[in-house]
Amino acid sequence: MALTKQRLAREHRTLTAMVRIYCRREHGGGAELCAECRTLLDYAEGRLERCVFQEEKPTCAKCPVHCYAATQRERVKVIMRVAGPKMLWRHPILAARHMLDGFRPVPPLKKPKD
């Protein structure tokens, strides 16, 4: 995935780390994600690339748009619940940045990308 913008690239790293933790713990995933988690991460990457907020992106939990389909949104919530506490130990900087992102105000909406 070619997310070159700093904010989105960091969000992508955080998301990937959380899915990896979850997959290893729940599905016995190793270096490669299981098919289910790979599909979900691909989906989330697509949402991230098209996020209407781009570099000003708030956390998805605070987002008024909620661009995820209901099923995928529920899956990501479960992943966050399971992997979130482990992120503090395994990826403390990403976890801290994600926490700080939670305090970002939600910016006014921009025109969506095609």
**Positions in the binding site for ligand SF4 (CB under 6 A):** 47-48, 51-53, 57-58, 60, 63, 65-68
Q: Output helix, strand, coil percentages for the chain, rounded to the nearest 5.
A: 65, 0, 35
* Alpha helices (runs of H) in 4-54, residue ranges in sequence order: 6-27, 35-49
41 binds, among ligand SF4, Zn ion, none (CB under 5 to 8 A by kind): none
Q: How far is the CB of 62 from ligand SF4 (least distance, A)?
A: 8
Residues with Cβ < 8 Å from 85, sequence gap 6 or more? none
Q: How far is the CB of 28 from ligand SF4 (least distance, A)?
A: 29
Q: Which residues are at the interface with Zn ion (CB under 5 A)?
A: 23, 27, 29, 34, 37
